[in-house]
Structure 1
Amino acid sequence: MYGDDPVAVARRWAAEGAPRLHVVDLDGARSGRPVHLSLAARICAAVDVPVELSGGLRSLEDIEAAFAAGADRVQLGSAAVRSPAFAGEAAARWPGRVVVALDVRRARPAVDGWQAEVGEGALLDLARRLVGLGVPRLMVTDIERDGALTGPNVALYRELVSQLTVPVVASGGVRSVDDLLSLARVGCEGAVVGKALYEGLLDLREALEAVSRC
């Protein structure tokens, strides 16, 4: 835990220059339905930067509710993995505002808040299928590196960027400016940074300045 006031935390990162906030309803991801939409709405109202919301969004109605709460973009995870056609339908209904999050453990997508794995070495095939259905952006998390501060799986992102025609956002393991620069050099559109900021290992303003020069 890094504080008991998510709204204050959101204001802090926005004030320090975060270009976008990535907000995850962890309870929603595990339960399969949005749990904290009212809190998400308070966060969206409190900051002047775009908010991307994920966790438990499994229907078009859930997505509509997330946008009504003030989200600029939504992320679909388990629902998109289980039904790529659903992700394509959502992407068509809200152009440019739907991201699919692929959480991966040893090349296998995981669902339900990482509680279950599906497929067998099917990451790239699944990613290509989603792109073919109109999904405009993917965020890929290496589960084994998430929160570990061991550095991102640069080889994974290099392969994905080289094989796909949509932007790829990296997540998991980022601990330093050098990590961010490595991801930028292989073509990632961006990166989700969490623990390194909360632990004080990475200064947000310095990181943004360094990446802007890459």
Structure 2
Amino acid sequence: MQVIPVIDIRNGVVVRAVAGQRSEYKPLETPLAPTGAPLDVAHGLASLHPFRTLYIADLDAIEGRSDNYAHIIRVATAFPHARLWVDVGITRFADADRWLALRNIDVVIGSESLKEAAELRAIRDNSRFALSLDFSAQAFLGEAEILHNAGLWPANIIVMTLARVGAGQGPDLSRLNEILPRAKGKNVYAAGGVRGVEDLIALEKAGVAGALIATALHDGRLTRKELGQFHAE
């Protein structure tokens, strides 16, 4: 099972998630990096394990402010052999062009940002896109067709339970078990709530392809040995 570290950026620094309440996110302090600069944090994560994929969320772009393009490009340049999954609040397919021009960046389309479900028809067969199905504690965030029409989904699906991000409540297995049968062979990734190796074992048994993780890596609850055990990429 793949483990994908998450880097959330706001105002040029990496922040620590707090139960999906983005207004409460504070600059990250981690033993893995000397500063909260995105490139420093990326190097720190690489010192823990040779991850082949990183997930970067540009919170400024997602929330409709300026973006952190320069910081993301620095990470992409420093790790040319890694894939970067980048969520920059894409609202329509055409907005992805400047990111697709960078060979090691793939674009995450968040359901909370996408204007129309029909936009997914242009990307569902494109391996450089992933769809994030975004949920609050109870509700789906986005147009209902995005959730209900699995025929629109690309090969990689992220099930993002924002209320569990950084909350230490464990992954949302109930929701994942609803999505997995409908994904019909697509890769489903869990985002939010992973506390340690026991949660990874549960996700693997459920048939999840991978997990997006931040807090457990910075807090030392997932060790180098455990990451190797799960063949983290």
CA shift digits 1:114-144 (9 cap, x unpaired): xxxx56xx5xx63341x31252221011122
In structure 2, C-alpha distance between the alignment counterparts of 1:89 and 1:34, rounded to whole Å: 26
Say whether the 8 Å CA contact 1:149–1:174 is kept in structure 2.
Answer: yes
Quote the Cα distance in structure 1 between the aligned partners of 2:140 and 2:104.
25
Mapped partners of 2:195, 2:169: distance in 1:
7
Match in the other structure for 2:168: 149
Q: Deviations over 1:139-166 (max 9, x none)?
A: 0111221110121111221221123212
Amino acid of the structure 2 residue aligned with 1:63: A
Is the strand fraction higher in 1 or 2?
2
Q: 2: CA distance between counterparts of 1:188 and 1:159?
A: 12
Q: Percent identity?
A: 25
Partner Cα separation in structure 1 for residue 212 and residue 134 of structure 2 = 13
CA contact (8 A) 1:79 1:87 kept: no
The match for 2:41 among 9, 21, 24 is: 9
Mapped partners of 2:216, 2:231: distance in 1: 19
CA–CA distance in structure 2, aligned partners of residues 52 and 212 of structure 1: 19
Q: Which deviates the most, 97-106 or 167-176? A: 97-106
Alignment match, 1:207: 226
2:62, 2:138 → 1: CA distance? 20
Aligned to 2:214: 194
Contact in 1 for aligned 2:146/2:152 (Cα 8 Å): no
Superposed, 1:175-194 pairs within 5 Å as 175-194=195-214
Q: Distance in 2 between matches of 1:63 and 1:71?
A: 14
Alignment of 1:1-214 (within 5 A): 1-2=27-28, 3-15=35-47, 16-31=49-64, 35-47=67-79, 48-77=81-110, 78-80=112-114, 82-92=115-125, 95-110=126-141, 118=142, 126-129=146-149, 131-165=150-184, 166-203=186-223, 205-212=224-231
In the alignment, is the contact (CA less than 8 A) between 1:41 and 1:70 conserved in 2? no
Q: Which runs of 5+ in 2 are unaligned?
A: 1-26, 29-34
Higher relative contact order (CA 8 A, sep 6+): 2
Q: Residue 108 of structure 1 aligns to which amino acid in structure 2?
A: A
CA distance in structure 1 between the aligned counterparts of 2:139 and 2:56, rounded to whole angstroms:
24
Alpha-carbon RMSD across the aligned residues, in angstroms, is 2.2
Higher mean displacement: 65-74 or 178-187: 65-74
Q: Note if contact 1:170-1:191 (Cα within 8 Å) is conserved in structure 2.
A: yes
Cα distance in 1 for partners of 2:41, 2:52 equals 15
Q: What is the one-letter code of the residue matched to 1:149? A: G
Question: Normalised by the size of structure 2, how large is the TM-score?
Answer: 0.75
CA, structure 1 residues 51+34, in 2 after alignment: closer, same or farther (shift >3 Å)? Answer: farther
* Runs of 4+ off more than 6 Å: none
Question: By percentage of residues, which structure has more helix?
Answer: 1
- Distance (whole Å) between structure 1 residues aligned to residue 128 and residue 171 of structure 2: 25
SS at match of 2:63: helix
8 Å contact from structure 2 (residues 131, 154) kept in 1: yes
CA distance in 1 between partners of 2:215 and 2:206 (Å): 22
Structure 1 unaligned spans of 5+: 111-117
Q: What's the offset of the Cα at 1:41? A: 0.9
Task: Give the secondary structure class of the aligned counterpart of 2:134.
Answer: strand
